[in-house]
């Protein structure tokens, strides 16, 4: 296990994201201290921790830091960089709101459409006009459901937009592990992996409430 540290900057490095975290929080939680070095190291990580211990921020802060620290490449193909998948639509709506505030604080001079890190929400209720906008200008982070990911993977025009995905954050793993939705998601992740151009691969970050046996 990694020793406790008093700052995100000392674990992840310096960026607008980690400086914001250190200005807002007295110290990282144990879940964050344990997860961040492994995420930065490129490992697939499953964070099993009680509610309120910073699991979601453990995953997203490392991703946001990497996105903020990477200079934009104007020649790169447009595409999604991070997928957040939850079996509950409500979590996507909540997370969209919860990310909006910090992103405004981290990038105060940016508008939502011109932020270095844009967030989109897609599920069965998303209007066609919004889906078209997401395809034309994919957000860096797309919040969606296993079913919506399956639909996108079945549309050939979306595959180049998904070939750029580097991180997949799967929330509520404990609610997916033992049912058909989890099986469908596992297959979708393999299809998503097949979209990646070698040697690129997905980094999978799972979030779960405490379960017994682990």
Q: Give pLDDT tens digits for 103-112.
A: 999 988 776 6
Residue 77 pLDDT grade (very low, low, confident, very high; cuts 50, 70, 90)? confident
What pLDDT score was predicted for residue 206?
96
Task: Over range 85-111, report the average pLDDT.
Answer: 87
Q: Give pLDDT tens digits for 50-67.
A: 988 899 999 999 999 999
Q: What is the DSSP string of 96-115?
A: HHHHHHHHHHHSTT--GGG-
What pLDDT score was predicted for residue 5?
53
CA distance 13 to 205: 20
Longest alpha-carbon distance in the chain? 48
Q: Give pLDDT tens digits for 165-204.
A: 999 999 999 999 889 999 999 999 999 999 887 777 899 9
> φ and ψ at 203, to 5 degrees?
-105, 120
Task: Over range 40-57, report the average pLDDT.
Answer: 93
3-state secondary structure 142-162: EEECHHHHHHHHCCHHHHHHH
Q: Is the pTM of this model over 0.75?
A: yes
Mean pLDDT, the chain, integer: 89
| Percentage of residues of the chain with pLDDT beyond 90 | 68
CA distance 62 to 39: 7
What pLDDT score was predicted for residue 172?
93
Q: Give pLDDT tens digits for 137-171.
A: 999 999 999 999 999 999 999 999 999 999 999 99
Confirm if 100 and 113 have CB atoms less than 8 A apart: no
């Amino acid at each position: 296990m990694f020793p406790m540290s008093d700052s995100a900057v000392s674990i992840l490095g310096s960026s607008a994201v980690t400086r914001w975290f250190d200005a807002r929080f007295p110290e990282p939680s144990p879940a964050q201290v344990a997860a961040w070095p492994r995420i930065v190291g490129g490992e697939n990580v499953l964070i099993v921790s009680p509610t309120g211990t910073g699991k979601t921020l453990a995953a997203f802060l490392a991703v946001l830091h990497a996105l903020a620290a990477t200079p934009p490449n104007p020649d790169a193909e447009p595409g999604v960089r991070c997928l957040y998948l939850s079996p509950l639509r409500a979590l996507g709506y909540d997370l969209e709101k919860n990310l909006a505030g910090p992103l405004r604080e981290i990038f105060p001079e940016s508008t939502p459409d011109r932020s270095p890190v844009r967030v989109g929400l897609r599920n069965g209720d998303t209007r066609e006009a919004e889906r078209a906008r997401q395809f034309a200008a994919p957000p860096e982070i797309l919040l969606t459901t296993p079913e919506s990911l399956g639909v996108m993977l079945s549309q050939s025009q979306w595959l180049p937009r998904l070939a750029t995905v580097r991180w997949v954050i799967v929330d509520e793993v404990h609610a997916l592990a033992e049912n058909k939705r989890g099986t469908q998601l596992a297959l979708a992740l393999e299809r998503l992996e097949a979209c990646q151009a070698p040697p690129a691969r997905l980094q999978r970050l799972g979030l779960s409430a405490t379960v017994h046996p682990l």
